[in-house]
Structure 1
Amino acid sequence: MKRAFVFPGQGSQAVGMGKALADAFPVAAQVFEEVDDALSQNLTKLMYEGPIEELTLTENTQPALMATSVAVARVLEAESGKKLSEMADFVAGHSLGEYSALTAAGSLQLADTARLLKARGLAMQKAVPVGEGAMAALLGMEIGGVEELVAEADGAAGICVIANDNADGQVVLSGDKDAVAHVIELAKEKGVRKAMMLPVSAPFHCPLMQPAADEMKAQLADVSIAPPLVPLVANVTASQVSDPETIRGLLVEQVTGRVRWRESVLYMGEQEVEALVELGTGKVLSAMVRRINKEMTGSAVQTPEDIEAFLGSL
């Protein structure tokens, strides 16, 4: 059976994340210690104890989620005695999860990734003054309908683009606050089931993030990138990539580009992947699988019990 390991993005963080893993598996504790050292920050304490307001700061959330995901991957390898490439045929991650995927697959070094995500979080936060940008979720409207709304708005109140195509009937907008609000009103007129502003600190995955993309281009320039053990299904292309220089470019493009998650899952289905296994905190990605491809199963591996169950299924 073909399997893909997938890695969550921002929004899955929670106080206490990773603690049960570190208590049960020394290899997980080593991952958290290495991330702390790379950042010269006690991120582990923040993950375990909070406060949630500080953990939710983008500069902390991104490396914390990555560390937890990579810890799960390392535990699976250590406990099974298998390489990641013997357990999965592809890796993919949602937004920052793409960095987790590349680290788990040996393309990026853990310490480099921690520093990159700290810089990415800071750069994304600084790119747009607080209050000027916004993101919104549209539920119950397919991607084609949302694209028509965005085209109809035609930048009348500023920039508004599709940031995330997550699943059938679940699309996220991003851009200038007034422009996003305008498209929400258009969506309500068209009978969208639900339209709501999201509690985020910046408008991710839209052209307003260009300063952050420029910063990541500079940050990534000197980082060593190896071919991943298994191909990455990239956010911005929804297709597989293994070439290090292509990956470097896509990580820059990803900051302003659309997260094509629905298309990525469909692509993996076309490659005969039958199971998506979400590694890390939360169950967001595994819960969406059946809404995208009814032939594919989704499961989440985040606790020692989940790890035991997964290893038993190998």
Structure 2
Amino acid sequence: MRAFLFPGQGSQAVGMGAALAEASRTARDTFDLVDEALEQNLARLMRDGPEDELKLTENAQPAIMAHALAVYRLLTIDCGIDLGKSAQVAAGHSLGEYSALCAAGAIDLATTAKLLRTRGLAMQAAVPVGEGAMAALLGTDLELARRIAEAAAEGDVCEVANDNDPGQVVISGSFKAIMRAIDIAKGMGAKRAIQLPVSAPFHCSLMQPAADAMETALGATTIARPAVPIYCNVTAAPESDPDHLRANLVAQVTGMVRWRETIAAMAEAGVEEFVELGGKVLGPMVRRIAPDMRVTSVVTIDDIEALAKEIA
């Protein structure tokens, strides 16, 4: 079995998609569709920057999706690969879940771009800049990360946001609590604790206003049954029912991204090959979770053509 994976925030970089657009009409059409939906020249921002503007959550989220879907559409349209025949399941990390749903035909590309713009703006607006923070706890498992978060909270919000792999857990919450967690983490057994360069505390209860905004937006969105089951972040389980997918996307805003459990569940279900489309961040995580699995990261035209030949 093969799984297609789609990256989340942090995969953005100035120049992303430029080579794809130069080589393929399909990639250019993908970026044009997203630009039209957003009424913004996002493709130019992706290609030329500035980096600070691209890193804004409202831009980074649709940009990462657009890049991943350009890779996917090159694979399917230009190379003739069918998702339902070439992969049995799919998943995405945080915003990547929207990319997975779009690739699987559950949400169209223009709607996906608009939803991610709404999501990015809502997440940024939920907590004033400087009042929230996130930190990566390295050499830490989920149980230890929870103990560190509980010890650091002191009445403030400090919660596990991402259980990424056996040695990397991300916490999120109020700035003061996250700083306390960084201070005490090593003494409690973590190898390192690093504040992340993000503008809001994602995937914690402080994001409830953003969850409310996404409940409204998703409530007005038509979601079709995906071509393959999507493993959802908040359940680490496969789902195909549109109403359940919608509810999970809402819960995901404040809920923990259970990535380690997701990959482990896929492997237990029989997935032997993981293909990351549009990034190189998830591959190393997968290798740490399931060392015996085959992992491929597909970003360039050469990557796409090599994968197409393999699975044709």
Is TM > 0.5 for Structure 1 vs Structure 2? yes
Residue 48 of structure 2 aligns with an amino acid whose one-letter code is E
Tell me if the contact between 1:106 and 1:228 (Cα under 8 Å) persists in the aligned partners.
Answer: yes
What displacement does 1:182 show? 1.8
Instruction: Provide the residue aligned with 2:141 in structure 1.
Output: 142
Instruction: Provide the residue aligned with 1:227 in structure 2.
Output: 225
- Residue aligned with 1:28, SS: helix
Instruction: Provide the residue aligned with 1:129 in structure 2.
Output: 128
Instruction: Provide the residue aligned with 1:250 in structure 2.
Output: 248
Tell me if the contact between 1:66 and 1:100 (Cα under 8 Å) persists in the aligned partners.
Answer: yes
Distance in 1 (alpha carbons) for counterparts of 2:73 and 2:190: 42
Tell me if the contact between 1:157 and 1:178 (Cα under 8 Å) persists in the aligned partners.
Answer: no
Distance in 1 (alpha carbons) for counterparts of 2:74 and 2:292: 28
* Among 304, 307, 310, the residue aligned to 1:310: 307
- Residue aligned with 1:82, SS: coil
Taking the TM superposition and a 5 Å limit, the aligned residue runs for 1:178-197 are: 178-197=176-195
Give TM-score scaled by structure 1 length.
0.97
Percent identity (aligned) = 56
Tell me if the contact between 1:157 and 1:182 (Cα under 8 Å) persists in the aligned partners.
Answer: no
After superposition, the C-alpha distances for 1:132-188 in whole angstroms (9 at most, x for unaligned) are 0000000011111112222334x3140000000000110000001111122222212
- Residue aligned with 2:4, SS: strand
Instruction: Provide the residue aligned with 2:214 in structure 1.
Output: 216
Instruction: Provide the residue aligned with 1:299 in structure 2.
Output: 296
After superposition, the C-alpha distances for 1:162-217 in whole angstroms (9 at most, x for unaligned) are 00000011000000111112222221212321111111100000000000000001
* Structure 1: gaps of 5 or more residues: none
Taking the TM superposition and a 5 Å limit, the aligned residue runs for 1:147-166 are: 147-153=146-152, 155-166=153-164
Between the two proteins, the alignment pairs up a number of residues equal to 311
- Residue aligned with 2:26, SS: helix
- Residue aligned with 1:175, SS: strand
Instruction: Provide the residue aligned with 2:267 in structure 1.
Output: 269
Residue 286 of structure 2 aligns with an amino acid whose one-letter code is V
Distance in 1 (alpha carbons) for counterparts of 2:44 and 2:183: 42
Residue 131 of structure 1 aligns with an amino acid whose one-letter code is G
Distance in 2 (alpha carbons) for counterparts of 1:27 and 1:6: 20
Tell me if the contact between 1:134 and 1:175 (Cα under 8 Å) persists in the aligned partners.
Answer: yes
Residue 247 of structure 1 aligns with an amino acid whose one-letter code is L
Give TM-score scaled by structure 2 length.
0.97
After superposition, the C-alpha distances for 1:58-99 in whole angstroms (9 at most, x for unaligned) are 100000110111111111112332321111111100000000
Residue 84 of structure 1 aligns with an amino acid whose one-letter code is L
Q: CA RMSD in A?
A: 1.0
Tell me if the contact between 1:3 and 1:277 (Cα under 8 Å) persists in the aligned partners.
Answer: yes
Runs of 4 or more consecutive aligned structure 1 residues displaced over 4 Å after TM superposition: none
Tell me if the contact between 1:160 and 1:175 (Cα under 8 Å) persists in the aligned partners.
Answer: yes
Tell me if the contact between 2:148 and 2:188 (Cα under 8 Å) persists in the aligned partners.
Answer: no
What displacement does 1:13 show? 0.3
